[in-house]
Structure 1
């Protein structure tokens, strides 16, 4: 399968109530769970260029992880994230076929809408 047909997700856990270490731990736990799903790759985002306002811990951006997943498993991963992150504030960036979509959510309702938007975006790519 060519990586052209894969979808890249960048997920930022933006919990203002947690300090950097707690956010880092939360991201690492989520990463471990995502790796158990059928994804091509998943990792924390290394600090190469720090976006304005981002914090880093141990060479990685705090609370930011990336996953690459096949189109077939994209919906499954989004469904999992929807169940797991419904009440958290997150930013989700989806990249497919050279196009990007960025959505934010801070409630289950917003997350469901963001997931729907991401699925439609992928379907239209």
Structure 2
């Protein structure tokens, strides 16, 4: 059930060292862990929404997933992402109340700063 008060996230795992199969496995593992959290909905990004330069495999975008959470649970999800993805290159797109914020991080420090920016963005939206 989508709602204006929910926050939508698109997460792209950017690991050029992984082949397509390993990237897909890593993405699906992360998705399974996110689904264990208190999220409204989560899934892989369909290949119909292909951003320029992305690769698709089996109808879904390689290394991309999306989640939707309530404003009350965004801190938990962002904290989980910080713990789980620290040190990995990711692109994060946050959408709240019709506004979007795109963030790229390639180190634990950048990810921490990006997640703080995302929380502030959501609080101000």
TM-score normalised over the length of structure 2: 0.97
Q: Residues 95-106 of structure 1 correspond to what in structure 2 (within 5 A)?
A: 95-106=95-106
Q: CA deviation at 1:52?
A: 1.6
Q: How far does residue 33 in structure 1 lie from its aligned partner after superposition?
A: 0.2
Using the TM superposition, give the Cα deviation of residue 2 of structure 1 relative to its aligned residue in structure 2, in angstroms. Answer: 6.3
Structure 1: runs of 5 or more not aligned: none
- List aligned pairs for 1:11-90, cutoff 5 A: 11-90=11-90
Matched with 2:108 is: 108
Q: Which deviates more from structure 2 when the two are superposed, residues 14-23 or residues 48-57?
A: 48-57
Aligned-pair CA distance for 1:39: 0.1
- TM superposition score normalised by structure 1: 0.97
RMSD over aligned CA atoms reads 1.1
- Total equivalences in the alignment: 125
What is the distance in 2 between the residues matched to 1:73 and 1:52? 31
Runs of at least 5 residues in structure 2 that lack an aligned partner in the other structure: none
Could you list the structure 1 runs, at least 4 aligned residues long, displaced by more than 6 angstroms after superposition. none
